[in-house]
Structure 1
Amino acid sequence: MIKVIIFDFDGLVFDTETFELEAFQKLYGKYKLDFPIDEWLNAIGSSLMFDPYEPLVMKFPAISKDNFRTERRKLYQEFLEGESPREGVVDYLRTAKQRGIKIALASSSTRSWINYYLNKLGIISYFDFICTSDDVENVKPEPDLYKKVLSNFEINPREAVVFEDSPNGSLASIRADIPCVIVPNKTTKSLLFDERVALRLNSMKDKKLDEVLEFITIKNRSV
C-alpha cells in the first residue's frame, strides 16, 4: 500500500524551469549571445553545475554579475505573472488528502524558494513534510532528499511513490529505490530518462492519482 506520495517542485508542481530558461534566453538575446542551453539542461533537477552568468560577465566585464542577475530576475517575474501549478497537480493533492495519504515535497532548491512559491500558489497546506537542499548534504541526483523523506515517515521505499520531471530527479528516486513516475515539462520532455522509471505521463491529467497508485502497487508486487 502506498502511504506517501512525494513531489518534486521546480518543473513538476510549478514549471519554474521553463520560465527560467525563457528568461535567460531573453537576457542573452539582449546582449547578442547564445545561451549555453546544453549545460543548463544537464543541471536541471540538481544544483547548478555551471554559472549561467559567467559568459555574460566575460563578454561585458563593465557590467557586474549582480546587474545581470537583476535583469534576469525581472524577466523571470514577468514570465511567472499569473501562472498556476501544472495541470492536474492540485487534483492529485486533493485526492491524496481525501484518501489519507501523506504528501511530501523533496527539492534541490532552498527552503526559502520553496516556501515562497508554495505560499504564492496557495498549496503549502497540502504538504505534511518538506525537504530541501537546506536539509541534506547532497542534492539530486544523489538520493539523500528521498531517503530523508522515508526516514521521516518511517516507511520502506515501496510504500512511497515519487513524481519527477527531470532525469536528475528521477535518478535520485531510483537510487533511493522508490518507484518514480515522470511527468516531463515543456523543457525536459526531450531529455533522456533512466529506463528504470516506473511510468511516464505527459500530464497528471493523463491518469487519475488512484489509477497511478494502482499501477505502482501492481508493479511493486511483480518485483
Structure 2
Amino acid sequence: MIKAVIFDFDGLIFDTETYELESYQIIYKKYNVEFPLQRWYESIGTNFVFDPYENLIHSDTKLDKNEICKERTAIFEDSILQKSPRDGVILYFEQAKELGLKVALASSSTKKWIYRFLEMLDLEKYFDLIYTADDVTEVKPNPELYLKVLEHFGIQPNEAVVFEDSPNGSLAAIRANIPCVVVPNAATQNLVFDHQVAMRINSMAEIDLSELLQKLSLKQI
C-alpha cells in the first residue's frame, strides 16, 4: 500500500531546466559559440559536472565570466516571470492529500534555490517533508535523498512512489528500490531512461494520481 509520494523539483514541478537551458543557448548564440549540449544533459538532475560557461570563456579571453554570468542570469530570470508549475502538478498534490498520503520533495538543488521557487509559486504548504542537497553528502544519482525520505517516514521502498523528470533522478529512485514514474520535460524528453522505471507519462494532467497508483500496484503483482 502506497503511503508517500516523493517529487523531484527542477524540471518536474517547475521547469527551471528548460528555462535555464534556453538562457545558456541564447548567450552562447550571441557569441557564436556552440553550447556543450550533451554535457548539459549529463548534468540534469545532479550537481553540475562541468562549468557551463567554460567553452564560452575559452573561446574569447576578453570575455569576463562574471559579466557573462550576470547576463545569462538576467535572461533566465526574465524567462521565469509569471510562469507556473507544470500541468497537473498542483492537482497531484491535492489528490495526494485527499488520499491521505505523505508528500515529500527530494531535490539535488540547494535549499536556497528550492525555497525561493516554493515561495514564489506558493507550494511549500503542500509538503510534509523537504530534503535538498544541503541535507545529504551526495546528491542524485546517489539514492541518499530518497533513502532519507523513507527513513523519516518509517516506510519501505514499495510503500512510496517517486516522480522524476531526468535519468539521474530516476536512477537515484531505482537505486533506493522505490518505484519511479518519469515525467520528462522539453529538455529531457529525448534522453535515455533506465529500463527499470515503473512508468512514463508526458504530463501529470493526463492521468489522475489514484488511477496511476492503481496501475502501478497492478504492475507490482
Establish whether TM, by shorter chain, passes 0.5. Answer: yes
Runs ≥4 in structure 1, deviation > 6 angstroms?
Answer: none
Local SS of the residue matching 1:39: helix
Where do 1:1-223 residues align within 5 Å?
1-220=1-220, 222=221
Local SS of the residue matching 2:204: coil
> Over residues 17-47 of structure 1, what are the superposed CA-to-partner deviations in whole Å (9 max), with x where a residue is unaligned?
0000000000001111111101001110011
Number of equivalent positions: 221
**Any unmatched runs of 5+ in structure 2?**
none
Q: Take 1:116 and 1:32, find their aligned partners in 2: how far apart are those partners?
A: 33
Q: Look up the equivalent residue of 1:29 and give its one-letter code.
A: K
Local SS of the residue matching 1:103: strand
User: TM-score w.r.t. structure 2 length?
Assistant: 0.98
User: TM-score w.r.t. structure 1 length?
Assistant: 0.97
Q: Look up the equivalent residue of 2:97 and give its one-letter code.
A: K
Q: Take 2:219 and 2:152, find their aligned partners in 1: how far apart are those partners?
A: 24
> Over residues 82-121 of structure 1, what are the superposed CA-to-partner deviations in whole Å (9 max), with x where a residue is unaligned?
1100000000001111221110000000001000001101
Instruction: Return the offset for 1:68.
Output: 1.3
> Among the aligned pairs, what percent are the same residue?
52
Q: Take 2:155 and 2:216, find their aligned partners in 1: how far apart are those partners?
A: 16
RMSD across aligned positions (CA): 0.8
Instruction: Return the offset for 1:218.
Output: 2.2
**Any unmatched runs of 5+ in structure 1?**
none
Q: Look up the equivalent residue of 1:59 and give its one-letter code.
A: S
